[in-house]
Amino acid sequence: MSLLDLQRDFIGYLVDEPDDISRAIAAAGKPGLDVYRNAYGAQLAACLKDSYERLWAWLGDAAFDAAARHHIAAHPPESWTLNDYGLGFGDTLADIYPDDPEVAEIAALDWALRRAFDGPDAEAFDAARLSEVDWDNAGIQFVPTLSLLPVQTNCGAIWNAIVAEEDVPPAELLPAPGWVRVWRIGLQPHFATIEAGERCAIEIVISGASFASLCDQLARESDMADTVEAAGLYLRSWLEDQMIAGFPRVAPRDRRGSQPSPVQCSDSVASASRKGQSHDPLLLPPHAQSGEDRAFP
């Protein structure tokens, strides 16, 4: 038996797959092999429980352990750090629970919050400096921990109830597919459920478009008054939630027609504030906070 064959058989033994390890290891060595197998599975299962704590609470010990064993058998570690081991567990859960989409979505939220915690630092833009922004040519740079998750269930409400140790609501499909944005403020990950319009606006910005181009895009989908209000609400929300790292200059684009200027859109931030407008619970719901450490409370 070659060294490569021996290594493959050893891995197969660790994950309970067919192997010929007994041909290379004397019977007296089997207790030692069992120690390796038990330690291997226990360590990886512990990693998954650490990264997916809310999912663990939702599924319970038996179901989570069964899903973990299924994932571990099919996905040996590939990174130098076990912090990365949970990547792809949501896909495993989607296969195991095809009729329970909230399971994979709670997992995706757990993982996104963990990734946000581990992500690179970035200082949020100070809203007091808005007057310095060249709105004709300004882009929007989000903090690097920002991510977007598609959802079709009330996974956010379930996650919050588990964290708060309140009565956990039953899983339900949303009236329409939605999105969750995840980001970090300081050392604390956050998430908010958002509607499709804000998701679209964020993706336009991430594509490298200027704020002026964002206003143009919104103008093509609604009248001018709605554009001013929508762009202003998005911008105000992103600033208040400390999602914006800066307003870098981007190359100007051809802008024709009667679309509102970017200054009009930015002015609506102050206008909405003067009118005492609050975030619409459907448009910009208040974000929920996770914990401040690796094991979210």
Rounded Cα–Cα distance for residues 54 and 36 (Å): 29
- What predicted TM-score, i.e. pTM, was given to this entire model? 0.77
Q: At what angle do helices 224-240 and 211-221 cross, to 10 degrees?
A: 130
Q: Where are the alpha helices (DSSP H) in the chain?
A: 3-14, 21-24, 30-51, 53-59, 61-74, 89-96, 101-118, 155-164, 196-206, 211-221, 224-240, 262-274
* Residue 37 clears pLDDT 50, i.e. is over it: yes
Do 67 and 92 meet the contact criterion of CB atoms below 8 Å apart?
yes
Q: Quote the pLDDT of residue 254.
A: 47
Sorting pLDDT into bands at 50, 70 and 90, what band is 15? low
Do 51 and 110 meet the contact criterion of CB atoms below 8 Å apart?
yes
HEC readout, 198-231: HHHHHHHHHCCCEHHHHHHHHHHHCCHHHHHHHH
The single-letter code of the amino acid at 30 is K
Q: Quote the pLDDT of residue 174.
A: 93
Residue (of 94, 97, 42) closest to 68 by Cα position? 42
Q: Can you give the residue ranges of every domain in the chain?
A: 122-297
Q: Quote the pLDDT of residue 223.
A: 58
Q: Quote the pLDDT of residue 25.
A: 67
Q: Backbone phi, then psi, for 75, in 5-degree steps?
A: -135, 85
The single-letter code of the amino acid at 126 is D
Question: What are the tens digits of pLDDT across the range 188-237?
Answer: 999 999 988 899 899 999 999 898 888 888 887 665 557 777 888 899 99
Sorting pLDDT into bands at 50, 70 and 90, what band is 135? confident
Do 44 and 77 meet the contact criterion of CB atoms below 8 Å apart?
yes
Sorting pLDDT into bands at 50, 70 and 90, what band is 26? low
The conformation of residue 167, written as its DSSP 8-state character, comes to P
